[in-house]
Amino acid sequence: MTLKEALALPKEEIGTLRADLKKRIEERSDINAYIALDEAGDGVPLLIKDNIQVKGWNVTAASKILQGYVAPYNATVIEKIENAGLAPFGRANMDEFAMGSSTESSFYGKTLNPHDPNRVPGGSSGGSAAAVAADIAIAALGSDTGGSIRQPAAFCGIVGMKPTYGRVSRWGLGAYSSSLDQIGPMTQNVEDAAILYDIISGHDTRDSTSANVEYAPVAPNLNPGRKLKIAVIDNYIKDAGSEVQHAYQKAIEALEAEGHTIIHKEMMGAKYDIAAYYIIATAEASANLSRYDGIRYGNRAEDPKDLKDLYLRTRSEGFGEEVKRRILLGSFVLSSGYYDAYYLKAQKVRHLIKNEFENVFEDADLILSPVAPTAAFKFGEMADPLQMYLSDAYTIGVNLAGLPAISLPIEKRDDGLPVGLQLIGKHFDEQTVFDGAMSLERAVAYEKK
């Protein structure tokens, strides 16, 4: 059942829907998409990533260090979904503190890709993507710092949308990198994504980064018949795998057949995006995660010798290896003598990246881009952290520039593994992003089953 269909159900049928969903979740527990089947309210069930505050839930960001913490309030997006007749229904597995591209670093164990249990579902919102793909969630909320909604959506064959930075309130989202994080919808189709996007969007005075700009609902105004100018970045696709290149060409032909104009552009190499992102994101992470000290909330080391021992052991025992790695990287680039050489330079490159997108958008309405260089990789295949970081090459520029983007499935490989692409739009022009995505979705006619 789609989100649109579920929202149209009479109230007395929602209980049956929830019961059926519980049964399917139990049957597919092998995927490990759900951390827990918590419930809050009796509305249409919506899966919530484990870094979004739901009052009374043990929200842990899939980390040992937050075991025992109970959220004392609802995030703004939770208030908004409840006002729209939805209800939080289960905590989705994720990479610890949203740091990862495979959902392998979770304290609760890895999530499996429902298309192939030997492959990752993507990350960090891997639990959300896998659950929607396996039909054990009608829809889900994820968060996207460098591709964490779009990449798992592509790997699992669903739709994942990252809004413009500031369009959706971050109040109540566990902070990883505050200037990059955004909450967004993960759904079965583009229309559902537009519906959920409308529900969670809007200005919030509690979030200092929330944009106080005019907002018009997208879903009632969807127009897949609009003719758009869509840019393709020729030098980007050259580094992608053959299956992604094939899907890219299929999408271009489908868009042209729908009457859209394809224009060819080139951009600065993605290696600059990666360098800038992993400096800025880790620097902000080192600051944001300093609050987890064993004093205020969550897990703490037992029988410390003194305060310093409490801090050291709580953080050493509580954080996983990838989180520790990023905290150390972030602390290094912010340290005396390195701030100018690394962090300040990365911010300048970020400005160049933003300008590059703006230059392309002078001639185009949207940009068509890969989401990842390949389809879902096997567990353990990206054991080298640098190799894992390089897999984010196509998504992180969108976060650095604060742009909206949507990932949708284009085709399946011979082994049934989905291949997705993304459409990137101008700041606060989500209407065009969804219109273009709906047109592409209809044109490629991806078959879910």
The residues annotated with a catalytic role in the active site are: 49, 124, 148
- For the CA atoms of 390, 210, 52, 422, the dihedral, rounded to the nearest 10 degrees, stands at -40
Q: How far is CA 218 from the centre of its chain?
A: 20
How many residues are recorded in the chain?
449
- For the CA atoms of 70, 71, 72, 77, the dihedral, rounded to the nearest 10 degrees, stands at -160
The rounded distance, in Å, linking the Cα atoms of 289 and 174 is 10
- Asked whether 377 and 244 are in contact (CB, 8 A), the reply is no
User: Residue 148, SS3?
Assistant: coil
CB atoms within 10 A of CB 306: 8
Which positions ≥6 away from 299 have C-beta within 8 Å?
A: 64, 65, 66, 67, 68, 314, 317, 318
- Asked whether 358 and 137 are in contact (CB, 8 A), the reply is no
The rounded distance, in Å, linking the Cα atoms of 315 and 320 is 9
Unique residue bearing structure tokens 């305060």? 307
* Token duo for residue 397: 């520029």
The rounded distance, in Å, linking the Cα atoms of 33 and 27 is 12
User: Residue 31, SS3?
Assistant: helix
The DSSP bridge pattern shows strands 229-233 and 366-370 to be parallel
Cα dist from 397 to 64, 147, 183, 267, whole Å: 31, 9, 17, 11
The rounded distance, in Å, linking the Cα atoms of 32 and 42 is 24
Give strand pairing partners of 141: 48, 185
The helix or strand, by DSSP H or E, that contains position 372, with its residue range, turns out to be: none
Unique residue bearing structure tokens 């109230």? 11
